[in-house]
């Protein structure tokens, strides 16, 4: 995946571009560190997106509370429907390790970009 190209494409979506980290989320990232945030991202993706069958698909990612949740919505990695629409990943197949790694990498790049924009 070309992460910069994908982030640019997502930024052109009015809905996706409306998500931003709030101050308390940036404070949380600064307190925990990016390595812990990445661990959280892997945990959320493995539990909420990776399975082939998700009973509450479309409602499994909160719209607030954790920086990774915001990144998931901003990057269209919030549900299997969005993964299918934006990335062509079929809903009914378990995510591969490579797909999980790509999703987490995209989320982390979005978070880093968002933090850098905050301090301009």
Report d(CA 11, CA 52) in Å as an integer. Answer: 28
Q: What is the pLDDT of residues 27-83, one digit of tens each?
A: 999 999 999 999 999 999 999 999 998 888 888 899 899 999 999 999 999 999 999
Q: Which among 48, 60, 65 is positioned nearest to 100, based on CA atoms?
A: 48
Q: What is the pLDDT of residues 95-104, one digit of tens each?
A: 999 999 999 9
Whole-model pTM?
0.93
CA angle 1, 83, 63 (to 5 degrees): 115
Parse the chain into domains and list their residue ranges.
Answer: 3-118
């Amino acid at each position: 995946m070309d992460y910069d190209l994908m982030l640019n494409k997502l930024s052109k979506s009015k809905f996706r571009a409306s998500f931003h980290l709030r101050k308390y989320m940036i404070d949380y990232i600064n307190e925990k560190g990016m390595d812990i945030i990445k661990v959280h991202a892997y945990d959320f993706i493995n539990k909420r997106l990776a399975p082939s069958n998700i009973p509450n698909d479309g409602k499994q990612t909160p719209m607030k509370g954790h920086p990774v949740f915001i990144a998931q919505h901003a990057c269209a990695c919030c549900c299997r429907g969005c993964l299918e629409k934006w990335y062509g990943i079929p809903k009914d197949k378990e995510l591969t390790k490579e797909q999980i790694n790509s999703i987490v990498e995209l989320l982390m790049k979005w978070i880093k970009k968002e933090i850098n924009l905050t301090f301009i």
